[in-house]
Homo-oligomer: A and B are copies of this chain.
Amino acid sequence: MSSGRILVAQGGGPTAVINQSLAGVVLEARRHHGIERIYGARHGVRGIVGEDFYDLTQETSHNLELVANTPSSALGSTRDKPDLAYCQKIFRVLQAHGIGHFFYIGGNDSADTVRIVKEEADAAGYPLRCIHIPKTIDNDLVGNDHTPGFPSAARFVAQAFAGANLDNASLPGVYVGVVMGRHAGFLTAASALGKKFPDDGPHLVYVPERVFELDRFLADVKAANDLHGRCVIAVSEGIHDASGQPIAAQLAKHLEHDAHGNVQLSGTGALADLLCEEIKAKLGIKRVRGDTFGYLQRSFIGCVSDVDQREAREVGEKAVQYAMWGDAGGNTSGSVAIKRTGFYSADYELQPLAAVAGKTRVMEDEFISESGTDVTDAFRLYLRPLLGSGMPDAYRLRRHVVEKRLGA
């Protein structure tokens, strides 16, 4: 039997609802009589190896509910990607503190950490139940209809493009908005959900699932600009050439790599600026503006999907229930996954950790138009219910033209 001590941690990039999952774990765990202590590790796995814990048992339920509604990781996060030796350190700390249940809220790298820690515990004959709780704005976890955090970030991106389209219609020109997502284009594609009237932007959407060719891009922009007298473009930070080299990397002078060996794509406006310069130089369009949505899209306070909030809470609750009671197959370790059951309803399942760990989902072909620069109705049908209630809507004046008196 596992001990009544729980450890929960948060890894990777923050989201608008990751604290819902934390509150879901803590509040659900309190209902179970066997649970004596609930610890939270500060800054993810880094806090575990440093034994840097808060005792969440002493938190008030009231404060936990308020923290749940606050974006970003309340326990702190980390970009550390543990190798085997690091995971062995994690296990030794869990053992030293008599932890019986380990919950890690994060993406596919975090799932891999949970998988290795569980293997270490099994090899040592130590009773440890390990649950990975999904979280990522990139929506790139396999086996999930979608991941908590993505719907709220998608809502921000859709609202941002709805506004940028109105701004661009008012002062015409070309507008480039660069959106997060290194390998998966889901978040960039969410820009299309900001469209309402037939001539609304974004008129072009570039995702990393398709090879980016600068010449074709410029031809696309020229065609859209000729048609509409303006052009709004959504571009993923992860766009790359046929060899897989990021377009952003081709221009950055000083490449910065993170601990995972990835080039830093966020936190710089270089890609938007380069694309704008190309458009100005090659197409001779004068008013060209670029924005990089940067950290706003994942941390802006006050833009959240209520569907996302509810599901993020529930994956936390379900994680504890699976650890306590097991799933239908009797498994008490695994990765909680969201499954779509209706239009719109969802349910949860426990997947094997190995099914999720270290794997990356990208946009399905059926979600990308043949042109490669738009989304399909299948994608709109997929995403719309996730954005939640109360989406702001855009309206325009009707065009009752007045006859000229002086002549053009």
Contact = CB atoms under 8 A, between A and B. Distances in A.
A294 B293 CA distance: 9
A15 B10 CA distance: 38
B291 A167 contact: no
A251 to B, nearest CB: 12
Interface stretch (A142-150, A335-343, A348-356, A392-400): A392-400
Interface string A149-186: 00000000001101110110111000100000000000
A290 interface: yes
Contact of A290 (B58, B162, B267, B276): B267
A163 B78 CA distance: 17
Interface size band for A: 35 or more
Contacts of A276: 267-268
A55 B397 CA distance: 10
Contacts of A326: none
A303 interface: yes
A54 interface: yes
A175 to B, nearest CB: 7
B71 A295 contact: no
A171 B405 contact: no
A405 B40 CA distance: 15
A289 B299 contact: no
A196 to B, nearest CB: 10
B400 A54 contact: yes
Given A169-B76, A301-B159, A408 B292 contact: no
A364 interface: no
Contacts of A220: none
Contacts of A406: 51, 92-93, 96
The number of times this chain is found in the oligomer is 2
A34 interface: no
A4 interface: no
Contact of A54 (B54, B163, B401): B401
Nearest to A269: B269
A59 B163 contact: no
A69 interface: yes
A404 interface: yes
A300 interface: yes
B392 A301 contact: yes
Interface string A265-280: 0111110110011000
Contacts of A56: 397, 400
A402 B277 CA distance: 54
B71 A163 contact: yes
A175 B268 CA distance: 11
A269 B267 CA distance: 10
A300 B160 contact: yes
Given A267-B289, A405-B97, A398 B59 contact: yes
10 contacts: A14-B171, A69-B395, A70-B166, A71-B166, A72-B169, A267-B276, A268-B272, A289-B294, A293-B296, A302-B391
8 pairs of A and B residues whose beta carbons are closest in the complex: A269-B269, A267-B289, A72-B166, A291-B294, A167-B299, A163-B299, A53-B402, A66-B395
